[in-house]
């Protein structure tokens, strides 16, 4: 089945630094990938839609200059949390699907802790 690999699985960084999270589709091409954030005991919140070769589409309230998304190839999307602060600590999850009408595959998530 389709596999989405997400790295790193967990990262601790200092306040003010930037962190990059990678999301790869291993056995299929994904023109679109999605990035979610999940706080403890809450549901997933869609942050942005990553489109290969074009700018990402951000959901309302998500700062595009803080959460930089790059989708340079059909198998890789990256999310960079810039100038991270403790309130950015969360569980970040990516997903991808081959095309509409099929299921979507999620990465295993990245636990970000900003200290």
Partner 1 sequence: DAKTTQPNSMESNEEEPVHLPCNHSTISGTDYIHWYRQLPSQGPEYVIHGLTSNVNNRMASLAIAEDRKSSTLILHRATLRDAAVYYCILDQGGKLIFGQGTELSVKP
Site string for partner 1, 48-87 (x = CB under 8 A): -x--------------------------------------
Angle, alpha carbons 4-73-57 (nearest 5°): 85
49 DSSP β-pair partners: 34, 57
91 binds partner 1 (CB under 8 A): yes
Range in contact with partner 1 (rule: CB under 8 A) among 14-22, 45-53, 72-80, 82-90: 45-53
Residues 6 or more apart whose Cβ sits within 8 Å of residue 31: 51, 52, 74
Name residues contacting partner 1, limited to 19-38 (CB under 8 A). Answer: 32, 34, 36
């Amino acid at each position: 089945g389709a596999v989405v690999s997400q790295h790193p699985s967990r990262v601790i960084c200092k306040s003010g630094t930037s962190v990059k999270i990678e999301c790869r589709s291993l056995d299929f091409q994904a023109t679109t990938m999605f990035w979610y954030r999940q706080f403890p005991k809450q549901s997933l919140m869609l942050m942005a839609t990553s489109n290969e070769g074009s700018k990402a589409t951000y959901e309302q309230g998500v700062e595009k200059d803080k959460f930089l998304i790059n989708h340079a190839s059909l198998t890789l999307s990256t999310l960079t949390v810039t100038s991270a602060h403790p309130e950015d600590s969360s569980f970040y999850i990516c997903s991808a699907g081959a095309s509409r009408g099929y299921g979507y595959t999620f990465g295993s998530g990245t636990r970000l802790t900003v200290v």
